[in-house]
């Protein structure tokens, strides 16, 4: 298992971590199996979505803000209840297929760390399970 440290730059941020995960996969001896990417944070998630057009990322964040707006009368004392809600919607992990030493993602797909309570340094756990070469 590898642990990435990813710095986010604003309160709500989506960082493309596809190159980091690919680097870990390429350095492993695993050729076929699965890669699980997990964040151990309650205000930060992981998702797969389009990474070719930056407007997709903007649109996702825009809609999540409409669903769970910042500081709208929540009872949570840390004033980040919206972050917990957004993380519950996105989820804390993704599992990706691995074939011939490569992650299987669609042409336009990328893997994103979604921070809803930054800026912070976030941990990302990457675990590869499968058959060695």
For 50-99, write each residue's pLDDT tens digit: 999 999 999 999 999 999 999 888 888 788 899 999 999 999 999 999 99
Q: What is the pLDDT of residue 106?
A: 96
Please state which CATH class domain 2-132 belongs to: mainly beta
Is residue 133 predicted with pLDDT exceeding 70? no
Q: pLDDT tens digits, residue range 79-91?
A: 889 999 999 999 9
Report yes or no on whether pTM surpasses 0.85.
yes
End-to-end alpha-carbon separation of the chain, Å?
Answer: 17
Domain range list for the chain: 2-132
């Amino acid at each position: 298992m590898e642990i990435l440290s990813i710095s986010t730059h604003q309160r709500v941020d989506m960082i493309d971590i596809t190159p980091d995960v690919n680097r870990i996969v390429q350095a492993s001896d695993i050729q076929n199996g699965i890669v699980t990417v997990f964040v151990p944070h309650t205000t930060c998630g992981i998702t797969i979505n389009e990474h070719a057009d930056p407007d997709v990322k903007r649109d996702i964040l825009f809609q999540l803000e409409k669903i769970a707006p910042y500081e709208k009368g929540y009872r949570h004392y840390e004033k980040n209840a919206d972050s917990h809600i957004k993380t519950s919607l996105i989820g804390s992990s993704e599992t990706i297929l691995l074939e011939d030493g490569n992650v299987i993602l669609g042409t336009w797909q990328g893997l994103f760390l979604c921070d809803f309570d930054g800026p912070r340094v976030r941990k990302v756990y990457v675990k590869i399970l499968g058959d060695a070469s």
